[in-house]
Structure 1
Amino acid sequence: MSLHLKAATLLALLVASPALADNQNTSLSARLDPVIDQAIADKRIVGAVVLVARDGQLVYSRAAGLADREAGRAMKEDDIFRFASVTKPFVTAAAMRLVEEGRITLDDPVSKWLPDFMPTFDGKTATILVRHLLNHTAGLEYGFFQPPGGSYAKAGVSDGLDLTDLSLDENLKRLASVPLASEPGKAFRYSLAIDVLGSVIEKATGKTLDKAVNELVVAPLSLTDAGFSTKPSERLTAAYFDGSPEPKRMEGSVAVPIGEGKLTFSPDRILDAKQFPSGGAGMAGTAKDVLTFLEAIRKGGSPILSAETVRTMMQDQTGPEAQTQGPGWGFGYGWAVLVDPKAGATPQSKGTIQWGGAYGHNWFVDPVEKITVVAMTNTTFEGMWGPFTRDVRDAVYGRH
């Protein structure tokens, strides 16, 4: 590394000061800044943008660390991140808007829209409803949850994060060829269900998923960068994954261990507009885009959804035994729902919604305290479920 790059890197890591809102809460800064600084100094994350809104006001806003470590480029607040599963709430909201408009119903069999999507369970064709897709009780899975050589790998199913020649229709054809892991409606299994939902949206609207989501969610919220592809630019953050002594840069396609399986990432997928739009993982955008969307949800859904619809989405649909984010957490439509804060050992209020993304993101909305927190990093998996996420949460609630 050149002296110039070393100097730039040092500056970004140690001198990067919060780009604060005018009404920045100084006590909140005093708690959050050290959490972010420590995660970067410990080389657990490379860079991050963290936003906190309270009662509709931005009270904390900071870009820290590096967007591109090898180039020595400091993170900026308007940098673009690959969303991974942060995509799911956007696609879910698009589907729920179609429900409001009477174009689809929660109890529609998926086969009404996708006649060829007829997976079996226990040797018989299963009936999957739209609501089963929304709350991940369809009996589907993700390939990365399976051991190497699992049924999805054998069928050639894409998890939506890799570069592939498959179309969405072909991927779902392969998915439907594999028997379901559980009877629809009976068990929570985080899965490719939202990719299937994306295809339902396409058929119901007569538009590709990217255009439908833009029309139903992105454009009404005036989101500046959210979409299913982006062009090469310095605003696009580099992608890293957990490693020692520091996170490793993702180059080409990288299979990152997760549980018994591996999740294949292809960071360049977001630059190829010809890739099929993955409803579960395919979008990119800024931290501000995510905050704007979540704040619309917190305030009741306008201009994209009604308050009644949002209340339904924020109600637990699975029961806390699903443990979607650990003990005490169930699942609504689009996100986990906190049912029992004591069981979850969290300062968040009952009814808090939360989720993240595998490229290194975590967010939550506490409707009781009127708090929305978005923490976007460029580091898998620390930024999604590592100590960084809990430290940010605890700092927001004054535990630091």
Structure 2
Amino acid sequence: MLKANEMELPSGTPEEVGMSTEGLNGIDELMQKFVDDEVIQGAVVGIGRRGKVAYYEAHGFSDQDTRAPMQRDAMFQMASSTKPILGVAAMMMIEEGLFKLGDPVEKYIPEFKDIKVAVLKEPADEDISPEWVFKDIPEYRLVDVHRPLTIHDLLTHTSGLASSGLGSAVAKWKRGPEEILETWIPQVAAGPLDFQPGTRWAYSGTVGLDVVARIIEIVSGQRFNEFVQKRIFDPLDMKDTCWNLPKEKVSRLVVIRGDKKSWQKPTGYFSGSYLIISSARDYMRFEQMLVNGGILFGNRLISEESVALMSTNKVGDLYGNVDKGGKTKGVGFGYTVGITIDPLLANSPRGEGTCGWGVAAGTVSWSEPKRELTVVLMVQQPTQEVPNELAKAVSAAITD
């Protein structure tokens, strides 16, 4: 058993890890400008390279109204930054032979058998699934799936389950406040799907990966939160990461102006898609474990092969935002994480092989195994500009 001080990530000067002090100091100015321009209220940024923390600073305010300064140990609503944790848990199940990527979901949750796909009523001789349906629901009909829904489909967002299409718009289910994975996921199995499994990439923000979380519960014999606590959080000493925020830590939670504080209400719904609360300290550990090939502090969570499996493109050319009728080039999607395949084609400052995620709440983190780099950006105002500019600054600060 390692002592507490032996479970801290070591610090190093930028020059010790092949980075520039001047370049990293420029991040102070960058974040301050975003705060001054009210793009974000504040941020905590952590950057590690070659196993050492080279930059770890807080900027701006944890509360805009009181002007309380942001602290490095501030806690954030992580939203979809939860998803890579589910990805690692899934890799553990695969390694242990408890499920396979190609397994039909119905093998574990029988209610998914014979799930249907929603398509436009007309033309009757062609099955058309609109990409997005939010209101003005068109007439529709239901057709059979061409093949069973699989765990692979769920982990890659190619399932068509709850991805803002026609099936989502006409679905009758609605999660109540007392639901848990065991009671909710069988209801989701009523469908219908938005498109045929495996034919499209469309983000399932709050449901698809929760089905995987439920399967993990079934095959492991543990509730998802208990499994993740024992198998991921404890070995990495992620002591601030939780679904239910302890009373003694409430003062550390960043206050978002206008937030209804729903995140502070105790829940028994332990989502694999969102709802986790955490800190930059904890997520730097998680990302460093991935850069290390699945190991940190002498604790191996998953194998190097599983890290590679998780972080290589699994969806062909399906992934990418629709842009002027085409797809974004140079990017892909693995198991719960987006991937930079070709930085030049993607016009991205992140390096080849970068993988990571983070969307709705603003938090973003990524790992770059080739450059031995980890980056954690904790903010509570989601923008594309802030993580992109940070990535440019980080890349510019690398000297070798």
Contact 1:51–1:287 under 8 Å retained in 2? yes
- Structure 2 residue aligned with 1:344: 346
Which position in structure 2 is the counterpart of 1:374? 376
CA contact (8 A) 1:321 1:328 kept: no
Instruction: Tell me the amino acid that sits aligned with residue 86 of structure 1.
Output: S
Q: 1:278 aligns with which of 248, 255, 271?
A: 271
What is the rounded CA distance, in whole Å, between the counterparts of 1:180 and 1:211 in structure 2? Answer: 30
1:208 aligns to what? Answer: 223
Q: 1:135 aligns with which of 153, 156, 168?
A: 156
TM-score by length of 1: 0.80
Structure 1 contact 67–378 (Cα < 8 Å) conserved? no
Residue 392 (structure 2) pairs with residue 394 (structure 1): yes
Q: What's the offset of the Cα at 1:200?
A: 0.6
- Residue 88 of structure 1 and its aligned partner are, at CA, apart by 0.5
User: Residue deviations 1:366-399, cap 9 Å, x none?
Assistant: 22211111101122x22xxx21111101111118
Q: What number of residue pairs does the alignment pair up?
A: 345
Q: 2-side partners of 1:55 and 1:271: how far apart?
A: 39
> Unmatched 5+ residue regions in structure 2?
1-9, 15-19, 118-141, 322-326
Equivalent residue for 1:268?
262
Counterparts of 1:326 and 1:224 in 2: how far apart (Å)?
37
Pairing partner for 1:116 from 111, 118, 127: 111
CA separation of 1:151 and 1:95: change in aligned 2, threshold 3 A: closer
Structure 1 counterpart of 2:189, from 163, 176, 197: 176
CA distance in 2, matches of 1:52, 1:290: 11
Residues 28 and 60 in structure 1, CA contact (< 8 A), matched pair in contact too: no
String of CA shifts for 1:304-332, please: whole Å, max 9, x gaps.
Answer: 00011111111100124411694321101
Alignment partner, residue 244 of structure 2:
229
Question: In structure 1, what is the equivalent of residue 301 of structure 2?
Answer: 304
Unmatched 5+ stretches in structure 1: 1-19, 240-248, 253-266
Describe the superposition over 1:240-295 as per-residue Cα deviations: whole angstroms up to 9, x where unpaired.
Answer: xxxxxxxxx1332xxxxxxxxxxxxxx42344133x11110021111111110111
Task: Report the secondary structure of 1:216's partner residue.
Answer: helix
The 3-state SS of whatever aligns with 2:378 is strand
2:112 alignment partner, SS class: coil
**Alpha carbon RMSD of aligned pairs, Å?**
2.4
User: Aligned match of 1:238 in 232, 249, 255?
Assistant: 255
Q: TM-score, normalised by structure 2?
A: 0.80
Q: Does 1:68 align with 2:63?
A: yes
Residue 258 of structure 1 is matched in structure 2 by none
* SS of residue in 2 equivalent to 1:397: helix
In structure 1, distance between residues paired with 2:168 and 2:368: 38
Give 1:99's match in structure 2, choosing from 85, 90, 94.
94
Q: Aligned to 1:23, which of 5, 10, 13?
A: 13
% identity of equivalent residues: 28
8 A Cα contact 2:84 2:356, kept in partner = no
Poorly superposed stretches of 4+, deviation over 4 Å = none
Verify the 8 A CA contact 1:107 1:129 in the aligned structure 2: yes
Deviation at 1:223, TM superposition (A): 1.1
Q: Which has the larger radius of gyration?
A: 2
The letter of the residue matching 2:273 is G
Indicate which of 173, 178, 191 corresponds to 1:165: 178
The one of 307, 319, 323 equivalent to 1:322 is 319
Q: 1:155, 1:174 within 8 Å by CA — same for their partners in 2? A: no
Quick one: which of 189, 200, 207 aligns to 1:187? 200
Are the equivalent residues in 2 in contact too, given 1:106–1:129 (CA < 8 A)?
yes
2:76 is the counterpart of 1:81: yes
Answer whether contact 2:171 2:191 (CA < 8 A) is retained: no
**Rounded Cα–Cα distance in structure 1 between residues aligned with 2:229 and 2:318:** 35
Residue pair 1:231, 1:271 contacting (<8 A) in 2 also: no
Cα distance in 2, alignment partners of residues 272 and 146 from structure 1: 31
Match of 1:6 in 2: none
Query: Counterparts of 2:34 and 2:201 in 1: how far apart (Å)?
Result: 32
